[in-house]
Amino acid sequence: MLTKKWTVDNVDPLKMNYPQLKEAAALLQQEEVVAFPTETVYGLGANALSDQAVQKIFEAKGRPGDNPLIVHITKKEQLTDLVDNLPEVAEKLMQAFWPGPLTLVLKSRDSVSKYVTAGLDTLAVRMPDHPVALALMEVSGLPLAAPSANLSGKPSPTTAAHVDEDLDGKIAGIVDGGPTGVGLESTVVDCTTEIPIILRPGGVTKEQLEAVVGQVEVDPALTSQDQAPKSPGMKYTHYAPVAPVFLVEGGLDFLKETILRAQKDGKKVGLLVTEETKFELGEAGDVMLTCGTRSDLSTVATNLYDVLRAFNSTDVDIIFSETFPKTGVGAAIMNRLDKAAGQKIISER
């Protein structure tokens, strides 16, 4: 399949006369799938109401059929057709964080394709905060089911080039709207329970949620191996570059020893570190890639997937990553790093 590519800069969401977006929207109306930027990562969109279109998402990504999709909307009014009874908690969260990187799990009205929900009686919905995503949905007039636009198991795409790398020839089109900002996927919150539960940590932090609705729980399966996560997608290994990733917990000397030990074993060592650690380490390892600064962890979120992908164009045999406190956006960063590492941790203690 020929993948059409468009570039759209500085879209004014109130103006709908962008020829690129008209073409992309026409393909979506013809049951095709098109990748587009959101503020979190690039999404792979399809008409959420069409079985045929939604199936194409699963095919292109190689995504397991039991992993449901998030439906993206542009107006709250669209919810009337999509979900039953909106709890007050959901209203408050929408008010505070939409458009933005927050997905709400609500009672489904079963109006979307059965492939979207993967047989669940709930539906995940979000209003993205990106002019291109919003304009594309406005022009097409469709709610879009859209997972991240990567091959299943690969790091999510934060640029159109990442999407191209994974899906060129497999999808109808890619709208390039520049690099995404947040860099990690949305926070998924189950609003069907008395107390809302974070099913996936993401761009909106637990602390921010609690400031709006009081107590918020975290799905215990996110920190324990013994339980099945309530969000089906969380059980899959994700975000992994080709070389194995190990999280290194401990002081600078311990990191240096760990690097030298691996090099002694004949391994080429890749290092995923912050600017601060790079400065403290000096010359170390074989390939050192920096992901941002410890003084503002949102920079780490923005760069993480790009850096994980970048290791694939090096010849390292093993990757050591530094770790972060699991508070604020650090919770989402550590959740993705844990998955990239498949829980492999080398600890000083």
Could you list the residues that contact ligand AMP (CB under 6 A)? 67-70, 105, 117, 120, 122-124, 147-148, 185, 188, 199-200, 230-234
Q: Which does 135 bind (CB under 5 to 8 A by kind): Mg ion, ligand AMP, none?
A: none
Q: Are 250 and 347 in contact (CB under 8 A)?
A: yes
Rule CB under 5 A: say whether 148 interacts with Mg ion: yes
Q: Report, in Å, the least distance between residue 107 CB and ligand AMP.
A: 10
Q: Which stretch binds Mg ion (CB under 5 A): 67-75, 144-152, 285-293, 339-347?
A: 144-152
Q: Report, in Å, the least distance between residue 276 CB and ligand AMP.
A: 30
Q: Which stretch binds Mg ion (CB under 5 A): 145-153, 166-174, 219-227, 286-294?
A: 145-153
Nearer to ligand AMP, 235 or 261 (CB): 235
Residue 18: name the closest of 135, 127, 125, 111 by CA: 135
Q: Report, in Å, the least distance between residue 167 CB and Mg ion.
A: 13
Compute the distance between CA of residue 43 and CA of residue 50 in angstroms, rounded to an integer.
Answer: 17
Q: Is 215 left (phi over 0), alpha (psi -120 to 50) or beta?
A: beta
Q: Are 246 and 344 in contact (CB under 8 A)?
A: yes
Q: Report, in Å, the least distance between residue 6 CB and ligand AMP.
A: 22
Site for Mg ion in 287-346 (CB under 5 A): none
118 alpha-carbon distance from chain centroid = 19
3-state secondary structure of 173: strand
Q: Is 343 left (phi over 0), alpha (psi -120 to 50) or beta?
A: left
Cα dist from 349 to 19, 273, 274, 341, whole Å: 58, 20, 22, 19
Q: Which does 187 bind (CB under 5 to 8 A by kind): ligand AMP, Mg ion, none?
A: none
Q: Report, in Å, the least distance between residue 71 CB and Mg ion.
A: 15
- Contacting positions for Mg ion (CB under 5 A): 147-148
